[in-house]
Amino acid sequence: MTLKTPIVAVNFKAYYPYSFGENALKIAQDARKVWEETGVQIILAPPYTELKSVLEVVKDTEILVFAQHADPVEPGARTGYIPLEGLKEAGVQGVILNHSEHRLKIADINWLVKKAKKLGLYTLVCADVPETGAAVSILGPDIVAVEPPELIGTGVSVSKAKPEVITNSVELIRKVNKDVIILTGAGISTGEDVYKAIELGTAGVLVASAIVKAKDPYTIIKDMAENAKKAMK
């Protein structure tokens, strides 16, 4: 599957009970409905334990399923770790790397990006500020998301509170990598935030609590997808 833009990427994180079981399936079903209605590229990143059930829900759509993290290990005697081969086997199309809640060493990010490419897995690498966004972009990931940690989970969107983080990111990243897809993250809560993020030069958003903990995920995903489409025109 190819990556299309704009992108609405949903990080399920590990909220309880929201990110697990029936709740996780509900989010996936809602995402599926929105995709059927809008065709917007959606990425879903549920916990490891929910990957296969979510994959089942979005079968035969263009929705992509990513793991939230990958351990920098080769397959083998690694109790409790999941190497990229194991994620590939589970059926995912990509992985999030270096999320602010699960940072990686730079050498490991590079190793994982290169290996994922070989295995045919997409990589979405997070960074905290424009400079580190540019730094990881040199390593050749498919997607990069710059998320100021102080806004993550606040409901105060980076596109409103710190638009310069987005424009600086785009500027610094484009100097070193013409192709990487740039996403906006941290505090994204509404369709308007998504519109703004794209207007400022990125290709979509990385969202978590606003969708995952919503009473009605469908409405939010739909609003974001529609705004993404509108903004890309």
Bridge partners of residue 123, in order along the sequence: 95
Residue 69 designated active-site: no
Minimum distance, C-beta of residue 24 to a second copy, in the bound complex (Å): 9
Q: Quick check: 158 binds a second copy (CB under 8 A)?
A: no
Residue 185 CA, distance from chain mean position: 9
What is the C-alpha separation between 58 and 73, in angstroms, rounded? Answer: 28
* Smaller CB separation from a second copy, 1 or 106: 106
Q: What are phi and psi of 154, to 5 degrees?
A: -90, -20
Q: Is 86 exposed, middle or buried (0-12, 13-18, 19+ CB in 10 A)?
A: middle
Output the CA angle 62-68-71, nearest 5 degrees.
Answer: 125
**Site for a second copy (CB under 8 A): which residue of 14, 120, 155, 216?**
14
Q: Quick check: 104 binds a second copy (CB under 8 A)?
A: yes
Minimum distance, C-beta of residue 75 to a second copy, in the bound complex (Å): 3
Residue 99 designated active-site: yes
Report the 10 Å Cβ neighbour count for 213: 14
Q: What are phi and psi of 18, to 5 degrees?
A: -50, -40
**Site for a second copy (CB under 8 A): which residue of 42, 144, 152, 166?**
152
* Smaller CB separation from a second copy, 43 or 136: 136
* Smaller CB separation from a second copy, 81 or 160: 81
Element (DSSP H or E) covering residue 32: helix 21-38
Question: Within 159-218, which residues bind a second copy (CB under 8 A)?
Answer: 172, 175-176, 208-209
Signed CA dihedral, 177, 179, 184, 186: sign only: negative
**Site for a second copy (CB under 8 A): which residue of 115, 153, 219, 223?**
153
* Smaller CB separation from a second copy, 1 or 14: 14
Question: Within 50-89, which residues bind a second copy (CB under 8 A)?
Answer: 50-53, 67-69, 73, 75-83, 85-87, 89
Residue 226 Cα distances to 38, 40, 58, 116, 232, angstroms = 7, 8, 19, 31, 10
**Identified catalytic residue from 22, 147, 192, 226:** 147
Closest C-alpha to 197, from 145, 138, 149: 145
Q: Quick check: 119 binds a second copy (CB under 8 A)?
A: no
Report the catalytic residues.
99, 147
Interface residue list for a second copy (CB under 8 A) = 11, 13-17, 19-21, 47-53, 67-69, 73, 75-83, 85-87, 89-90, 96, 98-110, 127-129, 131-132, 134-136, 138-140, 152-153, 172, 175-176, 208-209
